[in-house]
A = this chain, B = another copy of it.
Amino acid sequence: MNTESVATRAPRRDAAENRAALLLAAKVVLNRDPSASLETIAAEAGLSRRSVYGHFVNRDELLLELVTSGARRVAISLEGLSHPDPLVRLALIASRLWQEIESVRMMAVIAIRGPLASHTAAALDPVRRIVREAITDGQRDGSMRNDLGRELLARLVEDTALLVLEESAEHPLPAREGHNLVMLMTLGVVGYGWRDAQNFIDAHHELDWTIPS
């Protein structure tokens, strides 16, 4: 059955674990310092820099895998997100992003530098699309401000959500409050005053905080 005729042994189980440990370490370390060295990442994973090259051909390959797996997490978490009310939809997106905060921040950080930028942008494209959709609908039905263009508003929403995630990294918030804050700020950007925004959130159970699985 083997492609090669030589008898080959199955890969060791701990190898896969180490690979995963490296990815996890990278996520953690890069959240702290976007330009951390492989040395630092490997150390965090409890491995040597040399052995990184046993799992990834490149620094970039490592980041690439990080980004794609992160994007997959986010995509899955956003999957099947469809609610008639575009406002609820938008708040739900914010809510889900909060649950995937580590991946999102890591990607945002990587998206800035080097050749990974374009790939990261592409990976996050689905998120952007549903954000725009919600905003288009919201502007059409009058539930969202119309003094700003759709494009601009979409970017402001994205960046504001990210802002809250960053903020909560430097000054940690109880998960419950962070979750509420992202939604609150998102609704604020699309035009709502703080009381209205909070009332809206309180009025929709879909937006309630639930302990993360």
Check A159–B152 contact: CB distance below 8 A.
no
Dominant SS at the A interface?
Answer: helix
| A191, B188: Cα distance in complex, Å | 8
| A136, B184: Cα distance in complex, Å | 21
Check A194–B163 contact: CB distance below 8 A.
no
A173 to chain B: closest CB distance in Å? 8
Q: Which residues of B contact A196 (CB under 8 A)?
A: 193
Q: Does any Cβ of B come within 8 Å of A15's Cβ?
A: no
Q: Which residues of B contact A184 (CB under 8 A)?
A: 147
| A66, B194: Cα distance in complex, Å | 38
| A163, B108: Cα distance in complex, Å | 14
Check B155–A159 contact: CB distance below 8 A.
no
Q: Which residues of B contact A163 (CB under 8 A)?
A: 156, 159-160, 163
Chain B's closest residue to A173 (CB) is: B152
A72 to chain B: closest CB distance in Å? 27
| A190, B32: Cα distance in complex, Å | 29
Q: Which residues of B contact A198 (CB under 8 A)?
A: 147
User: Which 10 residue pairs across A and B have the least CB separation, nearest first?
Assistant: A193-B193, A191-B194, A145-B194, A159-B163, A188-B188, A192-B193, A163-B163, A191-B193, A147-B194, A155-B167
A residues whose Cβ falls under 8 Å from a Cβ of B: 145, 147-148, 151-152, 155-156, 159-160, 163-164, 166-167, 171, 181, 184-185, 188-189, 191-196, 198
Known: A147-B194, A155-B167. 7 other contacts (CB 8 A): A152-B167, A155-B171, A160-B160, A160-B163, A191-B195, A192-B194, A193-B196
